[in-house]
């Protein structure tokens, strides 16, 4: 027992000494592999290359918060994708953990997988900052760490996201355009924000307000926090309508089904709206667009996890990868909605309609995933 | 005629049980981990345990008086946001920043105490309100996540003593250092602070008054114990411990984040850790060190998800069941009582 302890301590010390030199990805020039799938964020995006490793690999997904449909759909997508024929042979071991909204626990889990010798760790960060230590440790052991969805404010890791700022701008432009079509160039706009302290919430809100500052106006703004949750959003929007009486348009980051429900319940006239990609929201758009609920639906896809896994494996194979990968925004406006194609009347309100990314070979649709039961996905 | 150790055991049954449970869980985890019993794993485990352990210790003190402090998680969040603004610059500035962070936490706790004592409001309600105030202040201090806590400080305090000495220009291979070189700095902080602060406090009149209030407040009052002083001191100390957690969290993440959800999680987990550590929610029995161990147990349970193959969507359920079983150990004594009246003690 004691000898084992001493040996491992000595081995750990030697590892520390031998890898003290900074490893990690090398910054190289582009273009990267498979640009159709791994599109660089913009022209200034740098490119990374890790030393190629022999497969198959050990891959872990470290999720934070769990408990809404989006995250559950994300976890199911991850598990289904790890069994996908295109990728199955490249993965030796696959593990998913959820740490809850707890930064130290998430950092600890990532560090644990590094210590266990995993090759790639895909994560949704619970905070845009604070990962310096695990990035340093990952680089030291040549582990590919891939944050997606809630990404980090750093350019030292490969990250994958939809452009949240752009999404916010599109929300903003949509409501201003729709109001302009009605002949309104000023008025009162309700902004429904997401989970406070989160980079996605921050960037979408900046995008919305940037557009409102720049175009027409003046726009009087009322901001409420809906936490991307239908119940919370419905409550705060109902409160806001009770206090302010009337809004000319609504820009909601999430929980959009609840937002529209609150408008219906309070008898608020149907006004232009921008929102997420919940199935329930799209159902309501299809039903009420004739009454003036002219909406745009742009969603953050739970399928991002599959692209992140694919990117991690591509990086492990030694391919040149963009540091920041942009996944195109899946947009649908009220006049483009089609039952069974981009929304489903027979499926629950709270799942996310956008899941697949054909250019990346991610062809698992949201309904296909939600229709499967647990045992099939395992 | 009982020996010293037997007497200690009857008086600290919950605490002793917590230590045994922790050791069993943690040693098994290390055997199953591919790099078990290594410094790297110990460093990683202690890092993620510091914040929750401090918040659990903070919660213990109001619980000992028979109250609950629902603001501990929020105070941790507030102080981590304050630290993310103040802990940088020259070493002297950093030390001053740390001092101010701890001071702000203690001051917030003292405010809780004053509200409870002179406002005559139940602690659980008073701290529910002040917790919301703390989150509001945290969002004012840091509306967006970020901040730049010194990077060297982050590296030095989240690693072993060897790295600490190495970071600050000492000779990490000096002979006198060898016995300590592999000890994680977070462990030293985690055990050092309660040893220096909690143990002396518990022996003081104020400290013992806290236990007396939890056992029988009326009797404590009639005995002339300084009740008001003890209550304010208890909340102040709770604020101080929560600030220790917040300060470490800020250093560990090199940043601050006014994360409301995380604050709530920490408050709830702190109550679970207090119970796991053998402190009675009715007050009067237990201590901060027990809660420290309770917090470690809470953490170790989640470590298992990383080495076992458990369906990710079942993990929260399993964590809850294990927690329930662990807490139920404390109820075993009820099976052995000879007189039902003993249950009310």
Whether A78 maps to a domain, the answer reads yes
Whether A150 maps to a domain, the answer reads yes
- Same domain, residue pair A24 and A157: yes
Whether A333 maps to a domain, the answer reads no
pLDDT computed for residue B300 by the predictor: 94
For residues A300 and B10, the model is more confident at A300
Q: Where are the domains of chain B?
A: 42-308
**CATH (domain of A73):** 3.40.50.2300
Measuring CA to CA, how many Å separate A242 from each of A9, A43, A262, B318? 64, 47, 10, 42
Whether A360 maps to a domain, the answer reads no
Question: Under a CB-based contact definition with an 8 Å cutoff, are residues A157 and A145 in contact?
Answer: yes
Question: Under a CB-based contact definition with an 8 Å cutoff, are residues A58 and A90 in contact?
Answer: no
* DSSP structure string for B202-227: HHSHHHHHHHHHHHHHHHHHHTT--H
Q: Is A126 on the interface with B (CB under 8 A)?
A: yes
Whether A71 maps to a domain, the answer reads yes
Q: Is B229 on the interface with A (CB under 8 A)?
A: no
pLDDT computed for residue B145 by the predictor: 83
Whether A97 maps to a domain, the answer reads yes
- Same domain, residue pair A145 and A184: no
Q: Are strands A249-252 and A187-193 parallel, antiparallel or unpaired?
A: parallel
**pLDDT tens digits, A302-326:** 889 999 999 999 999 999 999 999 9
- Same domain, residue pair A68 and A132: yes
pLDDT computed for residue A348 by the predictor: 83
- Same domain, residue pair A100 and A225: no
Out of A111, A117, A129, the one facing B257 most closely (by C-beta) is A129
- CATH class as words, domain B42-308: mainly alpha
- Same domain, residue pair A78 and A122: yes
Domain interval for residue A307: 19-162+302-328
Question: Under a CB-based contact definition with an 8 Å cutoff, are residues A129 and B253 in contact?
Answer: yes
**pLDDT tens digits, B38-69:** 999 999 999 999 999 999 999 999 999 999 99
Whether A377 maps to a domain, the answer reads no
Scanning chain B, the segments in alpha helix (DSSP H) are 4-11, 13-32, 39-64, 72-86, 91-118, 123-141, 151-157, 161-167, 185-193, 199-203, 205-222, 227-253, 260-276, 288-307, 315-328, 333-336
User: Of A17-31, A72-86, B237-251, where does mean pLDDT reach its minimum?
Assistant: A17-31
B31 by Cβ neighbours in 10 Å (0-12 / 13-18 / 19+) ranks as exposed
In this predicted structure, the answer to whether residue A20 has a pLDDT above a threshold of 80 is no
Question: Under a CB-based contact definition with an 8 Å cutoff, are residues A163 and A326 in contact?
Answer: yes
In this predicted structure, the answer to whether residue A12 has a pLDDT above a threshold of 60 is no
Q: Are strands A295-298 and A273-275 parallel, antiparallel or unpaired?
A: parallel
- Same domain, residue pair A267 and A314: no
- Same domain, residue pair A126 and A186: no
In this predicted structure, the answer to whether residue A80 has a pLDDT above a threshold of 60 is yes
Residue B342 is given by DSSP the state G
Question: Under a CB-based contact definition with an 8 Å cutoff, are residues A52 and A316 in contact?
Answer: yes
Residues of B whose CB is below 8 A from A12: 35, 38-40
Out of B39, B259, B299, the one facing A127 most closely (by C-beta) is B259
ipTM field: 0.90
Check A102 against B253: CB less than 8 A apart: no
- Same domain, residue pair A24 and A156: yes
For tokens 């003292």, the residue is: B110
Number of domains in chain A: 2
Instruction: For A2, name the nearest residue in chain B, comparing CA atoms only.
Output: B37
Instruction: For A62, name the nearest residue in chain B, comparing CA atoms only.
Output: B306
Residue A296 is given by DSSP the state E
* DSSP structure string for A306-318: HHHHHHHHHHHTT
Q: Which residues of B4-29 are buried (b: 16+ CB within 10 A; e: fewer)?
A: eeeeeeeebbbbbbbbebbeebbeeb
Q: Which of A274, A269, A279 is nearest to A352 (CA)?
A: A279
Percent of chain A with pLDDT over 70: 91
Q: Is A65 on the interface with B (CB under 8 A)?
A: yes
Whether A203 maps to a domain, the answer reads yes
Residues of B whose CB is below 8 A from A100: 265, 316
Check B311 against A374: CB less than 8 A apart: yes
Residues of A whose CB is below 8 A from B40: 12, 115
Residue B6 binned pLDDT confidence (cut-offs 50, 70, 90): confident
- Same domain, residue pair A42 and A101: yes
Question: In what helix (H) or strand (E) does residue A287 lie, and over which residues does it extend?
Answer: helix A279-288
pLDDT computed for residue B172 by the predictor: 82
**pLDDT tens digits, A170-190:** 999 999 999 999 888 888 999
pLDDT computed for residue A372 by the predictor: 58
**pLDDT tens digits, A112-139:** 999 999 999 999 998 888 898 999 999 9
- The token duo for B128 is 């529910």
Q: Is B320 on the interface with A (CB under 8 A)?
A: no
| Predicted TM-score (pTM) of this structure | 0.85
Rounded Cα–Cα distance for residues A170 and A296 (Å): 9
In this predicted structure, the answer to whether residue A18 has a pLDDT above a threshold of 80 is no
pLDDT computed for residue A217 by the predictor: 78
B289 by Cβ neighbours in 10 Å (0-12 / 13-18 / 19+) ranks as buried
Check B38 against A128: CB less than 8 A apart: no
- Same domain, residue pair A277 and A154: no
**pLDDT tens digits, B251-310:** 999 899 888 889 999 999 999 999 999 888 888 889 999 999 999 999 999 999 998 888
pLDDT computed for residue B333 by the predictor: 65
Residues of A whose CB is below 8 A from B249: 103-104
Q: What is the mean pLDDT of residues B94-116?
A: 96
- Same domain, residue pair A78 and A212: no
- Same domain, residue pair A119 and A152: yes
Q: Which of residues 129-148 of B touch A (CB under 8 A)?
A: 139, 144-147
Residue B10 binned pLDDT confidence (cut-offs 50, 70, 90): confident
For residues B172 and A204, the model is more confident at A204
In this predicted structure, the answer to whether residue A106 has a pLDDT above a threshold of 60 is yes
> How many contiguous H segments (helices) and E segments (strands) does chain A have?
13, 16
Average pLDDT, chain A: 86
């Amino acid at each position: 027992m004691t000898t084992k302890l001493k040996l491992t301590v000595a081995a750990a010390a030697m590892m520390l000494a031998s890898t003290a030199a900074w490893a990690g990805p090398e910054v190289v020039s582009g273009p990267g592999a498979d640009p159709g799938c791994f599109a660089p964020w913009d022209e200034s995006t740098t490119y990374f290359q890790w030393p190629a490793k022999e497969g198959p690999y050990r891959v872990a997904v470290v999720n934070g918060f769990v408990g809404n449909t989006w995250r559950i759909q994300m976890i199911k997508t991850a598990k289904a994708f790890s069994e996908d024929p295109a990728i199955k042979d490249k993965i030796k071991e696959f593990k998913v953990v959820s740490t809850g909204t707890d930064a130290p626990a998430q950092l600890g889990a990532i560090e644990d997988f590094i210590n266990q010798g995993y090759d790639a760790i895909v994560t949704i960060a619970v905070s845009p900052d604070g990962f310096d230590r695990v990035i340093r440790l990952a680089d030291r052991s040549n582990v590919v760490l891939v944050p997606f969805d809630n990404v980090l404010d750093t350019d030292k890791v490969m990250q994958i996201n939809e452009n949240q700022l752009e999404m916010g701008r599109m929300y903003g432009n949509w409501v201003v355009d729709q109001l302009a079509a009605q002949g309104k160039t000023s008025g009162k706009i309700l902004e429904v924000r997401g989970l406070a302290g989160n980079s996605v919430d921050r960037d979408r809100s900046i995008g919305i307000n940037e557009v409102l500052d720049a175009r027409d106006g003046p726009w009087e703004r009322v901001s409420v926090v809906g936490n991307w949750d239908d119940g919370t959003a419905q409550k705060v929007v109902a409160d806001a309508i009770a206090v302010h009486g009337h809004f000319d348009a609504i820009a909601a980051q999430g929980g959009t089904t609840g937002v529209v429900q609150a408008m219906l319940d309070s008898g608020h006239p149907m006004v232009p709206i921008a929102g997420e990609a919940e199935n329930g929201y799209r159902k309501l758009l299809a039903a009420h667009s004739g009454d003036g609920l002219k909406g745009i639906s742009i969603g953050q896809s739970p399928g991002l996890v599959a692209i992140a896994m694919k990117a991690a494996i591509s990086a492990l194979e030694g391919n040149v990868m963009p540091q920041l990968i942009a996944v195109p925004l899946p947009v649908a406006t009220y006049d483009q909605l089609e039952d069974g194609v981009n929304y489903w009347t027979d499926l629950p309100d709270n799942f996310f309609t956008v899941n697949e990314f054909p250019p990346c070979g991610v062809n698992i649709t949201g309904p296909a995933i939600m229709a499967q039961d647990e045992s099939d996905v395992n | 005629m009982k020996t010293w150790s037997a007497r200690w055991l009857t008086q600290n049954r919950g605490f002793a049980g917590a230590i045994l449970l922790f050791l069993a869980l943690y040693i098994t985890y290390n055997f199953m981990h591919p790099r078990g019993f290594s410094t790297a794993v110990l460093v990683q485990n202690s890092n993620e345990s510091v914040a929750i352990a401090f918040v659990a210790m903070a919660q213990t003190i109001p619980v000992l008086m028979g109250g609950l402090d629902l603001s501990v998680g929020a105070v941790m969040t507030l102080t981590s946001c304050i630290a993310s603004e103040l802990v940088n610059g020259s070493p002297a500035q950093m030390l001053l920043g740390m001092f101010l962070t701890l001071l702000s936490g203690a001051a917030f706790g003292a405010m809780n105490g004053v509200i409870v004592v002179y406002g005559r409001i139940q602690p659980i309600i008073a701290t529910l309100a002040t917790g919301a105030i703390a989150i509001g202040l945290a969002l004012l201090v840091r509306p967006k996540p970020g901040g730049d806590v010194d990077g060297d400080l982050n590296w030095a305090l989240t690693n072993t003593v060897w790295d600490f000495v190495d970071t600050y220009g000492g000779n990490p291979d000096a002979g006198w250092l060898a016995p300590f070189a592999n000890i994680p700095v977070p462990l030293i902080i985690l055990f050092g602070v309660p040893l220096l602060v909690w143990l002396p406090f518990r022996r003081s009149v104020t400290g013992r008054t806290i236990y007396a209030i939890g056992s029988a407040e009326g009797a404590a009052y009639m005995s002339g114990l300084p009740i008001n002083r003890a209550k304010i001191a208890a909340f102040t100390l709770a604020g101080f411990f929560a600030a220790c957690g917040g300060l470490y969290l800020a250093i560990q993440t090199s940043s601050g984040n006014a994360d409301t959800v995380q604050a709530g999680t920490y408050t709830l987990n702190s109550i679970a850790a207090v119970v796991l550590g053998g402190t009675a929610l009715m007050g009067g029995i237990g201590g901060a060190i027990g809660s420290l161990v309770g917090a470690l147990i809470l953490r170790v349970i989640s470590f298992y998800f990383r080495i076992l193959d458990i369906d990710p969507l079942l993990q929260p359920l399993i964590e809850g069941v294990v927690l329930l079983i662990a807490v139920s150990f404390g109820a075993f004594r009820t099976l052995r009582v000879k007189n039902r009246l003993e249950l009310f003690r």
